[in-house]
Amino acid sequence: MNNSILRWLWMLPLVLFISACGSSPRSNYYILTAGSGSGTPPAGETPSLGIGPMQIPEYLNRSNLVYHRQGNSLEISNTENWAEPLDEGITRVIAINLAQLLNTQDVRFFPWHPKRAPDYGVKVNLLSLDASDRQATLAAEWLVYRTANAQTVRRRVSRLHHPLPEGDTGPGQIAPAYSQLLWLLSKLIAEAVSDDMEAPADR
């Protein structure tokens, strides 16, 4: 066997590898976005808010998009990804939503300096965030409290739904649907803060 043939045989695995890489599907990246709409800001002074900590389920703690299929089955995409850590994206969007809904510019993120604590703290424990063939769902335990004395203002477990078009759920539908669910959750949180601010001082 001559040298030229041997040389091509040695190069063949490299050529096949490069060809395989060139044919790999392109990765796509998605972000969550803040909602748009009108809220009912509290009368008088606007509150300062502290957001966090944010907790998400371990199965969502990845860059890949996760789809809920039949039964207990989950599908993890190889090419559809979040452009930022999901917990950070959720925290960012809730902060923007609450700033809009409560008409405040004073929003801080956990941990904050104890001597410069905000008026209200907001904790969210995301229990599930799923998309099936018909709807996106969010379940979360959330807490609003006064940081001055750690007194609970409102603690709830909320389950929210957002319809999706019939048929197979596409990746382009996931981020907008999740963003809408976070807007609905933010409205519940904002309502708790607003109600507390408008309650009688001698409560």
Ranges of each domain in the chain: 3-198
Report how far apart, in Å, the C-alpha atoms of 93 and of each of 15, 24, 45 are.
Answer: 45, 32, 23
Q: How confident is the model at residue 74 (pLDDT cuts 50, 70, 90)?
A: confident
pLDDT tens digit sequence for 109-163: 999 998 889 999 999 999 999 887 788 999 999 999 999 999 999 999 999 999 9
Tell me the CATH architecture of domain 3-198: 3-Layer(aba) Sandwich (3.40)
Cβ neighbors of 183 (< 8 A, separation 6 or more) are 34, 35, 37, 97
For residues 203 and 198, what is the distance between their CA atoms, to the nearest angstrom?
Answer: 11
- pLDDT of residue 87 exceeding 90: yes
pTM: 0.83
Cβ neighbors of 10 (< 8 A, separation 6 or more) are none
Instruction: Find tokens 């976070």 and name the residue.
Output: 182
- pLDDT of residue 15 exceeding 50: no
Averaged pLDDT, 167-193: 90
Residue 166: its pLDDT value, please?
Answer: 76
Of all residues in the chain, the percent with pLDDT exceeding 70 is 79
Mean pLDDT (the chain, rounded)? 84
pLDDT tens digit sequence for 21-39: 555 678 899 999 998 765 5
The HSE-up count of residue 67 (CA atoms within 13 Å, CB side) is 20
